[in-house]
Amino acid sequence: MGARSGNNYLTALRKLNAETYLSGERVGDVTIHPAFQNCARSIASLYDMQMEHPEAMTFRTEDGGRAGMSFIQPRNSDELRKRSRMMKSWADYGCGFLGRTPDYLNVSIAAMAAAHEFFGESDPRFGRNIQDYYRNARDHDWCATHTLVNPRASRAQGWAGHTDADLALKLVDKTDKGIIVSGCRMLATLAPMSEELLVFPSTVLKAEPAAEPFALSFAIQCNTKGLKFLCRDPYDLGRSKFDHPLSSRFEEMDCVVIFDGVEVPWERVFLCGDVARCNALYAATNAVVHMMHQVVVKNVAKSEFLLGLVARIAEVSDAMALQHVRERLAETIMTVETMRSSLRAAEADASLDKWGVCAPARPPLDTARNLFPHLYPRLVEIIQLNSSSSLMATPSEADFTNSNERPYIDRYFGTADANARDRVALYRLAWDVACSSFGGRQVLYERFFFGDPVRMASALVDNTDLKPLTDRVQSFLTRLD
Ligand SMILES: Cc1cc2nc3c(=O)[nH]c(=O)nc-3n(C[C@H](O)[C@H](O)[C@H](O)COP(=O)(O)OP(=O)(O)OC[C@H]3O[C@@H](n4cnc5c(N)ncnc54)[C@H](O)[C@@H]3O)c2cc1C
């Protein structure tokens, strides 16, 4: 089939009927459920963009069909930049607030398939499996979620390689047909709107036989028997797009994932029991770099949108001349430019990796992904500081239709630069970024979704060649003149 339409996606989702629970009830058809339907429609719109702009958003596959551009295995920097532009269009559609547009995982599957030898060295079947899975995912244009982190009951054993054996997802049996897994994984964002669940290792496992049952990498359909998704409270409260401009469109949902004796067919297993390869997977296949690429594109889109918002708030409140407002605007501009520069540098310094894929340079992307968890909460703080009580002076859409209230709203809420309705719409948007549960979750997401910031910083140190610089310092110290 190749690149799909939004309608194709919604039809597939309707048929899926995965075992998803929300507020004590089994969710039926997510495409008409109030908590999920709007986000499902937003994802569908992303797929429709592929239909509307095939040249920009799809590529020709070896069999002559057209697949979504995020599945491309870029062989040169032109293809990499095309993918980047396509990802930017999707990120802009969600104003950066849809973190899990399907490209996030598509780029990682593409990278892993290109690095199939990495899996094949563990077991030749696994090398073929990842290639077949990539082609299937690409040709069906599947929407996937993923889950990496095991839950933890206690930190008593420290974090380096210890899993809580009774909680964590683990291998319990092997049959002719596949592997049987049970246990729990913390969080799969977008799970109710996804068709596929990718299970990859994240936490570094200890190199010891006891860790082998936890060393797993596979993919399953979200409606596989024994697989259950437990949702948090929804932030789409069914209000109008005027009232909740972001949460009524981009509520991705996060779920805890329960595996109760789930059978994973052998053809969907990519690694099993290979601790060393599980620990090396993301770096060795370069999947992490391609995911960082998608993430930094999203960071550009999100920070640009917030810069527009901060600037518009300054205009509407007639505060553009105030020095502290300008200083905060400058800070927001610096965030945008830092993300743009990192992206541009990574693409300018892209090179072919050992798998023949054109990969963006890691250091600028790594810098951006380490910075953004610190910069994003500050952007939200700037919106709060520059808006203050206007974030609370936000009558709802219904208030505008009430003839008793309307004259007062029109009289007291307008500014020199915006009528009452435009001003309220703006501050409702600012509220959804900076004060709502949706906005709070966005801050948490940016702090943690790509991993624990402490370990991400540590990886940056590991991946930076410090020797030439320490040598330079040493050499300076020994200079006699
Ligand atoms: C909104 C959201 C969406 C997410 N979506 C997904 C998803 O779709 N798929 C997925 O796989 N994961 C997802 N995650 C999970 C994410 O990968 C993890 O949050 C991240 O890896 C950190 O792990 P953790 O939450 O277990 O934090 P922990 O490891 O429990 O860390 C919590 C805090 O304690 C600190 N800490 C932990 N151990 C120590 C120690 N020994 N010493 C000192 N400090 C310590 C950490 O630095 C951190 O500040 C999501 C997270 C969020 C918040």
Residue 84 alpha carbon to ligand 1 centre in Å: 27
Confirm or reject: Cβ of 189 under 6 Å from ligand 1: yes
Asked if 303 contacts 332 with a C-beta cutoff of 8 angstroms, the reply is: yes
C-alpha–C-alpha distance, residues 315 and 17, integer Å: 47
C-alpha–C-alpha distance, residues 56 and 452, integer Å: 35
C-alpha–C-alpha distance, residues 372 and 46, integer Å: 25
Q: What is the mean pLDDT of the chain?
A: 95
Confirm or reject: Cβ of 448 under 6 Å from ligand 1: yes
End-to-end CA distance of the chain: 71
C-alpha–C-alpha distance, residues 93 and 42, integer Å: 9
Q: Where are the beta strands (DSSP E) in 138-291?
A: 144-147, 170-174, 178-189, 196-199, 216-221, 227-231, 254-265, 269-272
Mean pLDDT, range 67-85, rounded to an integer: 98
Q: Which two tokens stand for residue 397?
A: 């859409």
* Cα–chain center distance at 24: 27
C-alpha–C-alpha distance, residues 102 and 105, integer Å: 6
**pLDDT grade for 204, boundaries at 50, 70 and 90:** confident
Burial per residue of 354-367, b for 16 or more beta-carbon CB atoms within 10 angstroms, e otherwise: ebebbbbbbebbbb
Q: Tell which phi-psi region holds residue 420, choosing left (phi > 0), alpha (psi between -120 and 50) or beta.
A: alpha
Q: Which long-range contacts (CB under 8 A, 24 or more apart) does 152-158 make?
A: none
C-alpha–C-alpha distance, residues 22 and 283, integer Å: 35
pLDDT at position 352: 98
pLDDT digits (tens, 9 = 90+) for 140-181: 999 999 999 988 765 555 444 555 667 899 999 999 999 999
The CA distances from residue 135 to 8, 140, 142, 194, in Å, are 18, 8, 11, 18
Residue 349 has pLDDT above 80, yes or no: yes
Q: Choose one of 187, 198, 199 to mutate for the ligand 1 pocket test, by most ligand atoms within 8 angstroms of C-beta.
A: 187
Mean pLDDT, range 390-400, rounded to an integer: 96
Residue 205 alpha carbon to ligand 1 centre in Å: 16
Residue 468 alpha carbon to ligand 1 centre in Å: 33
C-alpha–C-alpha distance, residues 58 and 148, integer Å: 29
The closest alpha carbon to 425, from 392, 399, 388, 397, belongs to 397
The SS3 of residue 172 is strand
Which amino acid does the sequence have at 432?
Answer: D
Residue 159 has, within 13 A of its CA and on its CB side, a CA count of 9
**pLDDT grade for 234, boundaries at 50, 70 and 90:** very high
For residue 212, give the DSSP letter: G
Q: Which two tokens stand for residue 144?
A: 């996937």
Q: Which two tokens stand for residue 104?
A: 């996030």
Residue 154 alpha carbon to ligand 1 centre in Å: 14
Number of the ligand 1 atom closest to the C-alpha atom of 451: 21
Confirm or reject: Cβ of 443 under 6 Å from ligand 1: no
pLDDT digits (tens, 9 = 90+) for 212-226: 999 999 999 999 999
pLDDT digits (tens, 9 = 90+) for 409-453: 999 999 988 999 999 999 999 999 999 999 999 999 999 999 999
pLDDT digits (tens, 9 = 90+) for 280-318: 999 999 999 999 999 999 999 999 999 999 999 999 999
Give the bridge partners for 71, in sequence order: none
For 29, phi and psi rounded to 5 degrees? -75, 110
Q: Which two tokens stand for residue 440?
A: 């709070």
Q: Which two tokens stand for residue 362?
A: 């890691």
The closest alpha carbon to 186, from 118, 133, 257, 289, belongs to 257
**pLDDT grade for 275, boundaries at 50, 70 and 90:** very high
Confirm or reject: Cβ of 452 under 6 Å from ligand 1: yes
Residue 454 alpha carbon to ligand 1 centre in Å: 10
Q: Choose one of 449, 455, 458 to mutate for the ligand 1 pocket test, by most ligand atoms within 8 angstroms of C-beta.
A: 449
C-alpha–C-alpha distance, residues 169 and 172, integer Å: 9
The SS3 of residue 202 is coil
Burial per residue of 42-71, b for 16 or more beta-carbon CB atoms within 10 angstroms, e otherwise: bbbbbbbbbbeeeeebbbebeeeebbbbbb
pTM above 0.85? yes
* Cα–chain center distance at 409: 39
Asked if 302 contacts 96 with a C-beta cutoff of 8 angstroms, the reply is: yes
The CA distances from residue 329 to 137, 300, 313, 339, in Å, are 42, 16, 10, 16
